[in-house]
Amino acid sequence: MPDSGIVKYLVKLRFEVDGVVERADVIGAIFGQTEGLFGPEMNLNELQKSWKVGRIEINLESKNDRTRGEVIIPMSTDIGTAALIAAAVESVDKVGPCSARFNVGQIEDVRAVKRKQIVDRAKLIVRDWSSKTSSEGENLLKDVTESTKRAKVVNYGLENLPAGPGVYSSELVYLVEGRADVVLFLRAGIENVVALEGTSIPDSVIELGKKKRLIAVLDGDRGGELIEKELAQVMKVEKVIHAPQGKEVEDLTPIDVINMLKAEKVDMPAVQKRQRSAEAAAPASHPADEADEPVVVKTRELYANLNGTLEAILLDQGLQEIGRFPISELVQKMEGTSGALYLIFDGIVTQRLVESATRVGVKGIIGHRTGELGQVPDDVRIGTFRDLGLE
């Protein structure tokens, strides 16, 4: 059908011919046997000239001396004319010298299909618009909700070894001694960890070593030394790190774990980006900085009355409270407050929040945990309640 024609209906018929015929034979039979049935204005030739009938498509297959196929006639007429043409084609009983049978399958309303496609597309457009125009408060509340969703210990392998969910997806996995060590790593935001649960190396861990990089983090005692020797006999690990002499890994704090890995110059692609950001900037990790210690003390004082409130507190240079707002109003209120130097709040430290806070001069941010952070100014410190041992 010419581009200016608008298809309204597709008339579809099935046919069967007692013999082998070709498309040209079927087309000839349709035009020849319907010509003159209802006057010249209803001939298919005339309807095509006036763009009311498009190019007729024939799909067929010949097999075992029979030909079967489908006829599709695009039409821009009213439904009555489309039905009349369908009935006329159905009356065709010969194709060439062979007997034939045509049956109307359906008359498809192309506009109905197009309307459904338009409605479905409109729904997607509205959904996309809604997600992009959600308020700052809604996004912050979502971040706060996500902060309560800590990673949980999962089971790994046939031995049901305690592990973090990252053991399945990360290219680097940390081997620790027991479940308590796994829990500690999860508190530090490191989810790519699995416990050995004894001095005998589980088969699942041996198989894991064939597919992934492994780093062992063991206790600083005799037991840790025995496990190191056992590992050396049955598999290859990239590095073995021990807790300080006489200490077990589970006795460490989350920030101790992060600092220990950093001190060993471990390449940690699987440690969450948020942890690297927090580890690099958290006030608790810089005890030598005299300005940090008062902030830590003040945060510990505020924590009990702040945790679970979905609120944020702004402090000035003297650590005096100059504003306390609901999370949903934080960005707006913060931009209207002068003299804010520290932000302590019951939520997740996101890149968007860091950018908003630094615009008004905030130099220290402490929350439940950090999201994926990009660029953080060198003079801005970011920490979490976990870093301070509050969670």
∠ CA 218-223-224, nearest 5°, is: 20
The domain ranges of the chain are 9-112, 154-270, 280-384
According to the model, what pLDDT value does residue 131 have?
57
Strands 311-315 and 342-345: antiparallel
According to the model, what pLDDT value does residue 143 have?
56
- Fold classification of 280-384 is Cytidine Deaminase; domain 2 (3.40.140)
Give the contacts of 73 (CB within 8 A, at least 6 positions apart).
10, 11, 12, 13, 53, 54, 56, 85, 86, 89
- Fold classification of 154-270 is Dna Topoisomerase Vi A Subunit; Chain: A, domain 2 (3.40.1360)
DSSP string, 211-253: TSEEEEEE-SSHHHHHHHHHHHHH---SEEEEPSTT--GGGS-
Residue type (1 letter), 28? G
Q: How many CA atoms lie within 13 A of 158 on its CB side?
A: 6
Q: What is the mean pLDDT of each run of 10 residues along the chain (391 residues)?
A: 65 93 90 82 80 89 92 90 90 91 90 84 78 54 52 87 89 93 87 89 92 93 91 91 92 86 64 40 39 80 88 92 88 86 90 87 89 79 82 66
Which residue matches tokens 């082998």?
Answer: 20
According to the model, what pLDDT value does residue 391 have?
66
Q: Radius of gyration (Cα) for the chain, nearest Å?
A: 37
CATH of domain 9-112: 3.30.70.2690
Q: Which two tokens stand for residue 38?
A: 């209802």
Burial of 58 (0-12, 13-18, 19+ CB in 10 A): middle
Three-state DSSP at 43 gives coil
Rounded to two decimals, the pTM is 0.38
According to the model, what pLDDT value does residue 348 have?
85
